[in-house]
Amino acid sequence: MYDTLKERFLKYVKFETRSDESSETIPSTPSQIEFAKLLKKEMEEIGLENVYVNDACFVNGTLPSNIDKKVPVIGFIAHMDTADFNAVDVNPQIIENYDGKDIILNKDLGITMYTEEFPNLENYVSKTVITTDGTTLLGADDKAGIVEIMEAMKYLINHPEIKHGTVKVAFGPDEEIGRGADNFNVEEFGADFAYTMDGGPVGELEYESFNAAQAVYKIKGKSVHPGTAKDKMKNASLIAVELASMFPSAEVPEKTEGYEGFYFLEGINSNCEDAELMYILRDHDKNKFLEKKKFAEDVAKKINERYGKDTVKVVLKDQYYNMGEIIKDHMYVVDIAREAMENLNIEPIIKPIRGGTDGSKISFMGLPTPNIFAGGENFHGKYEFIALESMEKATDTIIEIIKLNVEKNYEKTEL
């Protein structure tokens, strides 16, 4: 049905597009600009109209309506960048009719994906599974989403008998570093509602995300020769350890699930004179999120009370908010996606994202944007994989949503 889906996916994942948090440019890496140019060319080739790359490196395109009546304009969004893991020389392996056994990713390096460690593999028996070679990530997050949107648009263009309203498409940069959506232009995009194709396994449908903030602690110690340090030295490394011990040990990523929030210590850099701790704070509940931020500030106050004024300074920065706060007033966008999946015999898995997507920011810009599965598993590392059949189901879902938008004849005023 989608004759170029597999070929397109293998082509896109080999294009290195890692984003760079340390960069201050838009986008953060030049490779994303080059990939945007490629996507623009291919969008024009399949027949999308008004295709262009804007100043924020979002590749935009339009599938014009082929009906007379007015229906809401739907948008589909995916991101071009990949996570901060080796993405150079991606060499996908294709396993047809997967037998459910351990998968040797790299025989020479002794890298195997064991079913005991990854029981999710059992869901893909008899499927065509695409993996890494054990040295890079795969890039299904979110090249799969791009492919699915492209293939859906191509199919609709090649099958004009399928009635549809106007559909907007956008592929953007720097999602993995949380900055790309800051420059998304909702008015320019021109949709009434949208979906990011950026979820995991088949059936995922997410309209709630974390509220998120970052806390950076900078500790100033006092370095003195250890032989004469009594009552003089102030060891920033030890203060850092003490500061970290003040956080609740049960509220960490490895001990939480579902709607439970957490504090995550991303890293520590320290010596006797200086130390820095980087935390991220997450919670779906807005009040609990605010409590977490206050707790982070109180930790710094307590350290300063013990060791002297300005021993530690903390900088708190909000990153994104729970898109459910917006989408709850526009549940039509979730309902139509749910119905589309059910029509395709896909069981919707509606659950909160334990993270964020571009939709977390875009929804607060006035464009309700839940997240739909793209099909991949084990993102951001060498054990990432995806099934060809999962991408086909995601593409089917896009098309079914577009068809339902016409068949149900929803009025824009409902939005």
What residues act catalytically?
A: 81, 175
User: What's the start-to-end Cα distance of the chain, in Å?
Assistant: 33
**Cα–Cα distance between 263 and 280 in angstroms, integer?**
6
CA 70, distance to chain mean position in Å, is 32
**Cα–Cα distance between 189 and 171 in angstroms, integer?**
11
DSSP state of 364: G
CA 100, distance to chain mean position in Å, is 28
Which residue(s) pair with 168 in the sheet?
62, 75
How far are the Cα atoms of 76, 81, 398 from residue 16, in angstroms, in the given order? 23, 8, 26
- The answer to whether 303 and 243 are in contact (CB under 8 A) is yes
Cβ neighbours of residue 361 closer than 8 Å, sequence gap 6 or more? 181, 182, 184, 320
- Residue 378: what residue type? N
**Cα–Cα distance between 120 and 341 in angstroms, integer?**
21
Q: H helices within 95-235, ranges in order?
A: 140-158, 186-189
| Per-residue buried b or exposed e for 217-234, using 16+ beta carbons within 10 Å of the residue's own CB | bbbbbeebeeeeeeeebb
**Closest Cα to residue 166, out of 60, 52, 35, 58?**
60
**Cα–Cα distance between 4 and 151 in angstroms, integer?**
8
Tokens 């040797």 belong to which residue?
104
Coil vs helix vs strand at 111: strand
- Residue 84: what residue type? D
Which residue(s) pair with 234 in the sheet?
222
**Cα–Cα distance between 395 and 172 in angstroms, integer?**
19
10 Å Cβ neighbour count for 381?
13
The secondary structure of 332-361, three-state, reads: HHHHHHHHHHHHCCCCCEECCCCCCCHHHH
